[in-house]
């Protein structure tokens, strides 16, 4: 008898869960008009992950290129995990600590790896595809070229740029990073006095690949000297709007470059709050269902009407006895208003320094 009762209860529970899940709405997909992109020279990311999380919370970028991560195989991916983002990582592998690249893509965006560009030849770069609305694609790359890069490595970079151009084909292309080529005048597309061989090579390669460089403001400030090192390339001049250079990440001497990449794309379906059915109190649901006078409730009603009445009563009880899962909170507990206020203060001091220069402004920022 006990076994029959147990089976009956289990069957009732399965029916309740099935009925409750039937009417569950799917998450919505929203159409966006741009992708906020960001390129950062971190000069060692490991000790700046807290700063990066704070920056992300404030600016909410979709694409983040981080160069000079100084990553190594000693540090697993969990060390560089950024809440709400997937990661494409390429450490420098020649034994030196400097260098390394990470490309973070917001999880709301459809994306996948680009294997032909992922091989470890040039040091260092990371690549992926982003899917736009209608199935169109954007090839996205993050590149770091060391100022001490060898001739061989520089040649590999030229090959990498041309390969990216060929692989992208009729799709769009977005390349971000630190190329360490300060002697290129990107406004007039010519070389400045004292330009090196690699600067000539990169200018020629970008011309050959029909790439447009969007950043005009200097991005690195060291010993009261400034230069333009951190770049954003696309195929069209109108691809990126609202370029801005923010204050550096932590103690880095590179400003953070942000911009809006014009793109129509759909977010992934936003998940609705989930019921934790495994924690439901089904005995109480069954008990209260049995207390309802169904004969009176269903009298004179059609089949559809009886189902609607039952479903409404069931939904009330599910709300009462089946808890909702708490949504994930990607905001770190230390990201409070006072800390956000300090971040804004640092940014404003940086803007005053870059606008007017001067030792006093620099000390105020530092």
Whether 135 and 190 share a structural domain: yes
Task: Identify whether 5 is part of a domain.
Answer: no
Whether 98 and 162 share a structural domain: yes
Task: Identify whether 24 is part of a domain.
Answer: no
Q: Residue 365 pLDDT > 60, yes or no?
A: no
Whether 193 and 282 share a structural domain: no
Residue 330: pLDDT band by 50, 70, 90 thresholds? Answer: very low
Whether 173 and 302 share a structural domain: no
Supply the pLDDT for residue 331.
46
Supply the pLDDT for residue 328.
53
Whether 145 and 214 share a structural domain: yes
CA 301, 304, 306, 312 torsion-angle sign: negative
Whether 234 and 316 share a structural domain: no
Task: Identify whether 111 is part of a domain.
Answer: yes
Whether 74 and 142 share a structural domain: yes
Query: How many structural domains is the chain composed of?
Result: 3
Whether 261 and 282 share a structural domain: no
Task: Identify whether 21 is part of a domain.
Answer: no
Residue 47: pLDDT band by 50, 70, 90 thresholds? Answer: very high
| Tens of pLDDT, residues 112-171 | 999 999 877 898 899 999 998 778 899 999 999 999 999 999 999 999 999 999 999 999
Supply the pLDDT for residue 275.
82
| Tens of pLDDT, residues 240-291 | 999 999 999 999 999 999 999 998 756 655 556 778 888 889 999 999 999 9
Task: Identify whether 231 is part of a domain.
Answer: yes
Q: How far out from the chain centre does Cα 143 lie? A: 16
Task: Identify whether 23 is part of a domain.
Answer: no
**Region 190-195 average pLDDT:** 96
Task: Identify whether 11 is part of a domain.
Answer: no
Supply the pLDDT for residue 157.
96
| C-alpha distance across the termini of the chain, in Å | 78
> Which 3 state secondary structure label does DSSP give 299?
coil
**Region 100-119 average pLDDT:** 92
Half-sphere exposure of 184 (CA within 13 A, CB side): 25
Sequence-distant (6+) residues with CB within 8 A of 50 are 332, 334
Supply the pLDDT for residue 20.
60
Whether 297 and 200 share a structural domain: no
**b vs e for 249-266, b when ≥16 Cβ sit within 10 Å of the residue's Cβ?**
bbebebbbbbbbbebebb
Whether 259 and 300 share a structural domain: no
Domain carrying residue 52: 32-266
Task: Identify whether 7 is part of a domain.
Answer: no
Do β-strands 31-41 and 63-67 pair in parallel, antiparallel, or remain unpaired? parallel
Rounded CA gap, 296 and 293, in Å?
A: 6
Rounded CA gap, 233 and 37, in Å?
A: 12
Q: CATH number, domain at 118? A: 3.60.10.10
């Amino acid at each position: 008898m006990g076994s029959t009762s147990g089976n009956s209860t289990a069957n009732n529970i399965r029916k309740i869960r099935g009925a409750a899940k039937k009417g569950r709405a799917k998450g919505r997909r929203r159409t966006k008009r741009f992708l906020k992109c960001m390129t950062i020279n971190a000069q060692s990311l490991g000790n700046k992950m807290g700063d990066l999380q704070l920056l992300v919370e404030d600016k909410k970028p979709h694409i983040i290129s981080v160069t000079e991560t100084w990553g190594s195989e000693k540090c697993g991916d969990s060390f560089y995990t950024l809440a709400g983002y997937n990661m494409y990582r390429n450490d420098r592998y020649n034994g030196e600590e400097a260098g390394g690249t990470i490309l973070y893509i917001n999880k709301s965006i459809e994306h996948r790896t680009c294997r032909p560009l992922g091989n470890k030849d040039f040091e260092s770069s990371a690549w992926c595809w982003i899917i736009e609305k209608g199935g169109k694609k954007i090839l996205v790359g993050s590149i770091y070229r060391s100022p001490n890069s060898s001739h061989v490595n520089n040649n590999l970079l030229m090959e990498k740029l041309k390969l990216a151009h060929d692989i992208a084909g009729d799709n769009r292309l977005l390349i971000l990073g630190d190329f360490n080529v300060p002697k290129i005048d990107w406004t007039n597309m010519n070389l400045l006095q004292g330009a090196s061989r690699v600067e000539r090579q990169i200018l020629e390669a970008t011309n050959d690949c029909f790439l447009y460089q969007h950043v005009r403001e200097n991005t690195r400030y060291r010993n009261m000297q400034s230069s333009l090192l951190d770049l954003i390339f696309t195929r069209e001049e109108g691809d990126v709007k609202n370029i801005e250079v923010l204050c550096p990440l932590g103690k880095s001497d590179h400003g953070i470059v942000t911009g809006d990449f014009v793109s129509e794309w759909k977010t992934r379906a936003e998940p609705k709050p989930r019921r934790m059915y495994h924690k439901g109190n089904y005995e109480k649901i069954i008990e209260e269902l049995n207390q309802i006078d169904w004969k009176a409730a269903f009298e004179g009603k059609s089949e559809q009407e009886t189902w609607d009445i039952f479903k409404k009563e069931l939904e009330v009880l599910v709300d009462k006895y089946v808890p909702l899962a708490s949504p994930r909170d990607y905001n770190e507990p230390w990201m409070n208003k006072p800390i956000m206020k300090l971040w804004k203060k640092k940014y404003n001091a940086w803007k005053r320094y870059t606008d007017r220069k001067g030792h006093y402004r620099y000390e105020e920022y530092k």
